[in-house]
Amino acid sequence: MARSRLIAEINALDQRLAAERGVLASQGRARIDRLGRVAPLWLLGGGLLAGLVVGRLASPAGAGARGFLLGGMQLWRLSGGVLALLAARPPGG
């Protein structure tokens, strides 16, 4: 009886993971579509800005694993917000 309960739990977890995988896949497709709608000039500018930020993080002032980790997390949050903002508004609008 315990074995059948474990099998049922495993099947339930498998279904839950499959649903979560589906959500992640659709979110990934939405991000790629949103990025595709961003003008190339914005992408180049964003790349330049990210390069400058990463260069700043790599400087001796931001040395150390903790500083690098915190800077990377800030860069990740910034890039997500910037992409969402750029996708919401067309360039020049």
pLDDT in tens, 3-24: 999 999 999 999 999 999 999 9
The residue among 93, 83, 85 whose CA lies nearest residue 32 is 83
Query: What is the structure's pLDDT at 92?
Result: 55
37-41, 78-82, 86-90, range with the lowest pLDDT: 86-90
Using alpha carbons, list the distances in angstroms from residue 61 to 51, 55, 58, 64, 89.
16, 11, 8, 9, 35
CA separation for the pair 21, 62 (Å, rounded): 36
Q: Is the separation of the CB atoms in 7 and 15 below 8 Å? A: no
Q: Tokens 């190339």 belong to which residue?
A: 40
pLDDT in tens, 51-80: 777 776 666 655 555 565 666 666 666 666
